[in-house]
Structures are given as structure tokens and as C-alpha cells.
């Protein structure tokens, strides 16, 4: 029995199973168990329909920077809805929140980025990128420069362009993707693919794959390289320290655009405003979403560098692209208040100076657990590689993903949301997480590892 009545959870599960198709979900297995029903949240904590309080170690879906229950965001949205709930930004019109948000984004993003194109999600941001880079090269009089180079196991969203730019083989299989004109190179995933090389050597090798692809396909046919600073959905792949410096060397020699997908790393996740600040990158285009509004309302954007804006605005005519809800007033109001909170409360600096060092020390300490092959973390985003035999990176569990899923479900039961990618656990908590919540988080993570270890040894899956 809870505040919602005896059969509340079962009722919601039943109608959900009957009518709701979920994203990225195997419905047979979901409906066998029943959906978990989340009813409310506050700070870093979720409450489900049975009254359980769960620590949200994934910040929703990598987006809840400022924590749940921010009254000032609710108020800003309510005020905007009352004043002007909707108007478009086509046909030579604008409105106050869109104009002010574009100005604010020009302030917080790298200095050479001064224009924002608004969309409603990270996927739409990457669709916009796809079209804008090609349009740019057409305007530059180089219409043969059309190929975009991405990376295997990258994630750039789930629309046709997002899926194509991303490097998820299972997604490509559904829908016969990628579309033509996208080429994928290796990812800088040392733990999984580094072989006998040191991380530093492997980072150079993975970066040189970009140069090799450009050489092989022809620089005069390449439009852009797209990458996440740290791959998120691919399993929090933190590149070796040599990777980005080497990529920068390659790009300095080649006339192609750099697209840095900041949908996860943006807005403080790495203890800097953007991943581009952390790795000292100079993107030509920068897709943003998620932490832009802390998920309070859907909004995304593409930050456009002066180099690209000068051509697209200066040389181009009409760019036939945009969405009914581009720069939606209420979503812009939510984003503006979210950024005000990040700035006024010094949240990004607090991540850098306090929360990230504190969590990192404890998280990396989990590497002593017999089930953990590697613990890694930058800022407040990290992963634990679960392995059957510690010290042997090449040995994997027999059916990839099974142990990850089992352990993730145990974590939920222990009151902590972590996500599983293959057989790793990943973590990306709200940026406002406190030290005592970090202690709680790490204790629950360790208990989960112990539980999983006991279960796996019972099943005979450990070396
Ligand atoms: C989540 C994500 C996207 C897609 O964003 P949606 O809002 O889900 O469409 C794109 N790129 C990266 C790096 C992401 O993590």
C-alpha cells in the first residue's frame, strides 16, 4: 500500500504494457517483469510507485545537471507559458527567450562560437550538423566534400542521420544504415581494443586512423570529422591522453571541419563548461542538448563557429532547415534558468574542485574489487569494466551484456541507478551530488559488485 492505492503500480504497469512502446527496449522482457514506475524526484533522488528512494547515478539520462525539484525552473517555465507559450522563429520573427538563450550560449561556449541553431534533441542537432556541413562546403565551392567521418561505437542519436553518424552496429542493422557518405574509423577504447599496446601508443594509433581514412578516401571528398570528447553511450570510453592531441595534429594538416558532439560532456560534466574546454579543442560545430536544460524541457542546439557562420550566413541564402519547435519559448526559458543556476551556484567549478576529485578517488578505489578489470572516470562520468578474470583484458564473459544487465538490475535493487553497457557499469550522477551522497553511492556500488560476484561465482562464470 502506498499513497497511490493498492493496485496503482500494477495498473500503470498493465496499461503501459498494453499501449506504450518504449525507446531502446525489448518489450517481451520488459513486460515479463513490469516497468519500474517513477513518480517523483528531488535533488539526486528518485521515488518509485512503491515508495522506494533510489539514488540517481545516471542524472536521468546524462542530463540532470542541477538536480530534480528546482522550483525556479518550474517558475520560469510557468511564467513563459503564461506570457507566450509558443511562437515560431521562422519568417523573420523571434522572441525574447530564444534571443536571450542564443546570446547566453555565445557567452558560455568557446569564444569563437557565437551562433546557436535551436532544435529539440541531440539527434536533431546531429541531423542539423549533417546538413549544415554539406551546405557549408557547397557554399565554399567544394561540393565534392561530402563524407563525414565518425567512429565505431560512437553515439550521435537515433534519427537516420544520428544513427548513421554514430557507430552502433546493432542500430545500423535495423533500417539499413548508415546512409551513404558516412565512414567510420576505430574508437580509442584501450581497455577493449588496445591489445599489447600501452594506452599512450594506442591513443596515437587510434588518432592516426583519422589521417589514414582521409588519405584513403581523399581529402577533397571529406567534409568533417565528428566525435564525442568522451564516448558516453558507447560505455564512457575515455580516450588515452595522447588521443586528442594527435587528432588535433591531424586536423591542423587537413582542411576538414571538426564537429564535437557535446550532448553529454557539455554543461559541466567534465568539470569544465564543455568537453572542448577540457581537451582544448576548437570545434567548427558543436551539437548540444541534455544538460542544456537539465532535461526539464526538451531542447537542443548546434553551436556554430564564426568560420561556419560567416559562410552559411554571409554567403548562403536560405538554409531550408528547421523545426516547428526550434527555440520553443518555454524550453528556452528552462535552459536560461538552468544556465543561471549553473553560473550563480558555481556548479561547474564545484564539480572540478570538489565533487569530481572526491568521487574519483572513491570510484577508482573500486578497482580493487575482484570483479572489476578497470575503473575510469573524468569529471563526473565514469565506468567499471566487469571481467571474469582480473588482470586479463582479453578474457570476456561468454555472452556479452548478460553480466552487465544482471549487475545493473542488482544496483537498482540496492537503490542506485547505474547503467550497463556491454559488461561495464557506467555512472554519470547529477552535478550537484554532495559528498555524503557520493559516500552513499560508492557504498551501494560496492555492495552491488559483491552481490554480483557472489551470484556469478555460484553460476561458475568467474575464473
Ligand atoms: C544522447 C545523445 C545524443 C542524442 O540526443 P537525443 O536528445 O536523445 O536525441 C546525441 N549525441 C550524444 C553524444 C548523446 O549522448
**Residues 137 and 277 reside in one and the same domain:** yes
Nearest atom in ligand 1 to the alpha carbon of residue 228 is 13
Instruction: Domain of residue 423: give its range.
Output: 36-66+346-458
Which residue in this structure is represented by grid cell 513518480? 39
All cell numbers assigned to 110? 568557446
The dihedral built from the CA positions of residue 225, 231, 235 and 241, taken in this order, carries a sign that is positive
**Residues 158 and 300 reside in one and the same domain:** yes
**Does 153 map to a domain?**
yes
> How remote is the CA of residue 177 from the centroid of ligand 1, in Å?
18
Any idea what the CATH number is for the domain that residue 436 is in? 3.90.1150.10
Average pLDDT, 10 consecutive residues per value, the chain (463 residues) = 73 95 94 93 97 97 98 98 97 97 98 98 98 98 98 98 98 97 98 98 98 98 98 98 98 98 98 98 98 98 98 96 98 98 98 98 98 98 97 93 96 97 98 98 98 97 90
The radius of gyration of the chain from alpha carbons, rounded to an integer in Å, stands at 22
Are the CB atoms for 412 and 404 separated by under 8 Å?
no
**How many domains does the chain divide into?**
2
**Does 8 map to a domain?**
no
- Final residue before a domain boundary, out of 344, 375, 397: 344
194 lines ligand 1 (CB under 6 A): no
**Residues 313 and 413 reside in one and the same domain:** no
**Does 3 map to a domain?**
no
**Does 24 map to a domain?**
no
Any idea what the CATH number is for the domain that residue 128 is in? 3.40.640.10
d(CA 86, CA 104): 20
Q: Best mutation site among 64, 119, 123 for ligand 1, i.e. most ligand atoms within 8 A of its Cβ?
A: 123
385 lines ligand 1 (CB under 6 A): no
**Residues 238 and 290 reside in one and the same domain:** yes
Q: Give the per-residue pLDDT at 3.
A: 61
- Final residue before a domain boundary, out of 344, 360, 390: 344
**Does 209 map to a domain?**
yes
288 lines ligand 1 (CB under 6 A): no
262 lines ligand 1 (CB under 6 A): no
Nearest atom in ligand 1 to the alpha carbon of residue 122 is 5
Q: Give the per-residue pLDDT at 463.
A: 84
> How remote is the CA of residue 161 from the centroid of ligand 1, in Å?
12
Q: Give the per-residue pLDDT at 328.
A: 98
Residue closest by Cα to atom 6 of ligand 1: 122
163 lines ligand 1 (CB under 6 A): no
Amino acid at each position: 500500500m502506498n499513497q497511490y492505492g493498492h493496485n496503482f503500480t500494477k495498473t500503470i504497469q498493465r496499461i503501459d504494457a498494453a499501449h506504450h512502446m518504449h525507446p531502446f527496449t525489448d518489450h517481451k522482457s520488459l513486460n515479463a517483469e513490469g516497468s519500474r514506475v517513477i513518480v517523483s524526484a528531488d535533488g539526486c533522488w528518485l521515488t518509485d510507485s512503491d515508495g522506494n528512494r533510489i539514488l540517481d547515478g545516471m542524472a536521468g539520462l546524462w542530463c540532470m545537471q542541477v538536480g530534480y525539484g528546482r522550483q525556479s525552473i518550474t517558475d520560469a517555465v510557468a511564467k513563459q507559458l503564461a506570457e507566450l507559450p509558443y511562437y515560431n522563429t521562422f519568417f523573420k520573427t523571434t522572441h525574447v527567450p530564444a534571443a536571450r538563450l542564443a546570446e547566453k550560449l555565445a557567452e558560455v561556449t568557446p569564444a569563437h562560437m557565437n551562433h546557436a541553431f535551436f532544435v529539440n534533441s541531440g539527434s536533431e542537432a546531429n541531423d542539423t550538423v549533417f546538413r549544415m556541413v554539406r551546405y557549408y562546403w557547397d557554399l565554399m565551392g567544394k561540393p565534392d566534400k561530402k563524407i563525414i567521418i565518425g567512429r565505431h561505437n560512437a553515439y550521435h542519436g537515433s534519427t537516420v542521420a544520428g544513427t548513421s553518424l554514430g557507430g552502433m552496429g546493432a542500430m545500423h542493422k535495423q533500417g539499413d544504415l548508415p546512409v551513404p557518405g558516412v565512414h567510420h574509423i576505430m574508437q580509442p577504447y584501450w581497455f577493449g581494443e588496445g591489445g599489447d599496446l600501452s594506452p599512450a601508443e594506442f591513443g596515437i594509433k587510434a588518432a592516426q586512423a583519422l589521417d589514414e581514412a582521409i588519405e584513403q578516401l581523399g581529402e577533397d571528398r571529406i567534409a568533417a570529422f565528428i566525435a564525442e570528447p568522451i564516448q558516453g553511450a558507447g560505455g564512457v570510453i575515455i580516450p588515452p591522453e595522447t588521443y586528442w592531441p594527435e587528432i588535433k595534429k591531424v586536423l591542423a594538416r587537413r582542411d576538414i571541419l571538426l564537429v564535437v558532439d557535446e550532448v553529454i560532456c557539455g554543461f559541466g560534466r567534465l568539470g569544465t563548461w564543455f568537453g572542448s574546454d577540457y581537451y582544448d579543442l576548437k570545434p567548427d560545430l558543436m551539437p548540444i542538448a541534455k544538460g542544456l536544460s537539465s532535461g526539464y524541457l526538451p531542447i537542443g542546439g548546434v553551436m556554430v563557429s564564426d568560420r561556419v557562420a560567416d559562410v552559411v550566413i554571409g554567403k548562403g541564402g536560405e538554409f531550408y532547415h528547421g523545426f516547428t519547435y526550434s527555440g520553443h519559448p518555454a524550453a528556452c526559458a528552462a535552459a536560461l534558468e538552468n544556465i543561471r543556476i549553473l553560473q550563480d551556484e558555481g556548479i561547474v567549478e564545484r564539480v572540478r574542485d570538489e565533487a569530481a576529485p572526491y568521487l574519483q578517488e572513491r570510484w577508482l578505489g573500486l578497482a580493487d574489487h575482484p570483479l572489476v578489470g578497470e575503473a575510469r572516470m573524468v569529471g563526473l562520468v565514469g565506468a567499471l569494466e566487469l571481467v571474469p578474470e582480473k588482470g586479463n583484458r582479453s578474457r570476456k564473459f561468454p555472452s556479452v551484456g548478460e553480466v552487465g544487465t544482471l549487475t545493473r538490475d542488482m544496483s537498482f535493487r540496492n537503490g542506485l541507478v547505474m547503467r550497463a553497457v556491454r559488461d561495464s557499469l557506467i555512472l554519470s550522477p547529477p552535478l550537484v551530488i554532495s559528498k555524503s551522497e557520493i559516500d552513499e553511492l560508492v557504498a551501494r556500488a560496492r555492495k552491488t559488485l559483491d552481490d554480483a560476484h557472489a551470484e556469478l561465482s555460484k553460476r561458475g562464470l568467474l575464473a
